[in-house]
Chain A
Amino acid sequence: LHPPYSSPGHSAAMSIANLRLADSITCHAWNNNCSEVAICPNNNQVQIFKRNGTQFDPEPLHILDEHDQVVSGIDWAPKTNRLLTSAHDRNAYVWRFEQNVWKPTLVILRINRAATHCKWSPNENKFAVASGAKVVSVCYFEVDNDWWVSKHIKKHKSTVLKVDWHPNNILLATASSDFKARVFSGFIKGVDERPGETPFGSRLPFGELLAEYPSNGWVHSVKWAPSGMQLAFCSHDSTVSFVDVSGGAPGQLQSVKFNGLPVVDILWLNEDALVGIGFDNNPLLFSRNGGTWSFTKRLDEAKKEAAAAGANRAAFNMFKAKVEVGAESNVTNLNTLHQNLPNCLKSMNPGASVREFSSSGLDGIVSVWKN
């Protein structure tokens, strides 16, 4: 187990805490007061670490070991304190914290391929699981049988990579590797009340495809704005697209192409700002000015002093590399906080305006960013 360290001499303009909790982290989720974080260290376990301000405890508080394959999605419900995990072994578990132990309950998803992502609905009475079976399982708790039952949303032509619930607890947006972002109805009779007027109409039978947005690359992630009046999705062709549905569906689509490698996860900071992370290892800020979205800046600016200290490391590394590789070698460390793909963004104070958010990546670093 690696001892935790914080990134050497790095002044990300906004990172207030960061720690390498594992070799590689697939996904993470915070509890309601952000005192504990659950991560998957790229294996079949989920580990929960305690956080004290800018430090994390080096050893995990709990280890949840029920899955057989890598855990692809973790979501922690803030109000009911339940953990939802989904994995490539086609299963999802709902975990309850009782008597200081996390107890799992298997959910019958009825999918025959890997689960790729999972998300609690805003009211936490339902959740959605995206899967490689080209299907989204929307699950709700059936009190009569005391277990979680699933209903399927089909209509995808390829693996569903991510899902996101609309604040009204009914609409569900999906991101798929068939180059499309879609909006479905996740209305469950008996669990949800009648939705009322939404930008997509008021008659929303379960599984109905309400809107489809095209893209030129695999759609990696999709997120609703806090008001539910805008939708954003990012694709592999280095674009982030914004849809404004306040005037009714399907709404106006704006695609922002930026100069860099693709973005794999996005997070709304407020109605006019969105942050994305991707293969550049650097959080990118997009903002809206007078109705038009554009790329604003990269959030991770390396400090000049770090470059100077880095120069000594560079000389050291160069000679070290000459011995090992037999050739000139430049500095091995990247000058961004994340050394490998950061692939999960979570907000730490959900609401209309996000002040703090966190990113976790394949380099094993979990970083807290302050706005």
Chain B
Amino acid sequence: MTTTIKPYTNAIRATLTASCCLINFASQLVERHNKPEVESKQNKELVLNPVIISRNEKEKVLIESSINSIRISVAVKQADDVEQILCKKFMRFLSQRAENFIILRRKPIKGYDISFLVTNQHTETFLKHKLVDFIVYFMEEIDKEISEMKLTLNARARIAAQEYIKQFV
């Protein structure tokens, strides 16, 4: 019996809205460059303290913010081995198509399953509240998708096994 997801997603939504206040900031270290400061982490004063919002020890969200970029890493609930494999494959599928997702990061941060990188360029072209909506929606849907996939997997396995056994009966 899981607790409702609402307080969890509300906390994430509030933290994201506050952390997603990004401005264009040219690099202090390399001339003419503009890097996401949360990725390079070279300037301590430009990076904010990371925040972890966790529902339980398995499900959590790490939000690291800086002056021009924010990195959001999600640890998805994986109850057993099957879900672990499904989650890994699903996340890999998405990460490899990170170009199309625009705000997705190709590799998740260590300890998490998937990471987003939002920079000031994204907040300039997209509406911030829709970005936050998207990330929260993504998290809500991931759980559903994986459960669905597991059910389909079990159903297919059962049908395949039935058919196989029939020849011996």
Candidate in B17, B31, B129, B133 with the most chain A CB atoms within 10 angstroms: B31
Please determine whether A334 and B21 come into contact, CB atoms closer than 8 angstroms: no
Of the stretches B1-9, B22-30, B76-84, B88-96, the one at the interface is B22-30
Please determine whether A116 and B21 come into contact, CB atoms closer than 8 angstroms: no
Contact partner, A177, options B17, B21, B67, B133, Cβ 8 Å? B67
B68 to chain A, nearest CB (A): 11
Please determine whether B45 and A113 come into contact, CB atoms closer than 8 angstroms: no
Contact partner, A261, options B17, B32, B123, Cβ 8 Å? B17
Please determine whether B26 and A114 come into contact, CB atoms closer than 8 angstroms: yes
Please determine whether B127 and A340 come into contact, CB atoms closer than 8 angstroms: yes
Residue of B with least CB distance to A158: B45
Please determine whether A42 and B67 come into contact, CB atoms closer than 8 angstroms: no
B residues less than 8 Å from A133 (CB atoms): 28
Instruction: Give Cα A178 to B123, complex, Å.
Output: 23
A residues less than 8 Å from B26 (CB atoms): 69, 72, 88, 113-114, 116, 132
Residue of B with least CB distance to A236: B21
Instruction: Give Cα A264 to B67, complex, Å.
Output: 12
B73 to chain A, nearest CB (A): 22
Q: Does A295 contact B (CB under 8 A)?
A: no
Q: Does B46 contact A (CB under 8 A)?
A: yes
Contact partner, B31, options A114, A327, A340, Cβ 8 Å? A114
Chain A residues 22 to 64 lying within 8 A of chain B, measured CB to CB, are 23-24, 26, 42
Q: Does B128 contact A (CB under 8 A)?
A: yes
Instruction: Give Cα A116 to B21, complex, Å.
Output: 18
Please determine whether B21 and A262 come into contact, CB atoms closer than 8 angstroms: yes
Residue of B with least CB distance to A26: B24
Instruction: Give Cα A339 to B43, complex, Å.
Output: 31
Candidate in B18, B25, B43, B123 with the most chain A CB atoms within 10 angstroms: B25
Instruction: Give Cα A177 to B21, complex, Å.
Output: 14
Q: Does A81 contact B (CB under 8 A)?
A: no
Residue of B with least CB distance to A70: B24
Contact partner, A157, options B17, B24, B45, B129, Cβ 8 Å? B45
B37 to chain A, nearest CB (A): 10
Instruction: Give Cα A116 to B28, complex, Å.
Output: 11
Please determine whether B23 and A158 come into contact, CB atoms closer than 8 angstroms: no
Q: Does B10 contact A (CB under 8 A)?
A: no
B residues less than 8 Å from A69 (CB atoms): 26, 32
Q: A158-B43, A178-B45, A218-B67 are in contact. Are A279 and B21 (CB under 8 A)?
A: yes
Q: Does A362 contact B (CB under 8 A)?
A: yes
B residues less than 8 Å from A218 (CB atoms): 45-46, 67
Q: In the complex, given contacts A69-B32, A114-B27, what are 7 additional A-B residue pairs having Cβ atoms less than 8 angstroms apart?
A: A24-B125, A113-B27, A113-B31, A329-B133, A334-B127, A340-B127, A343-B23
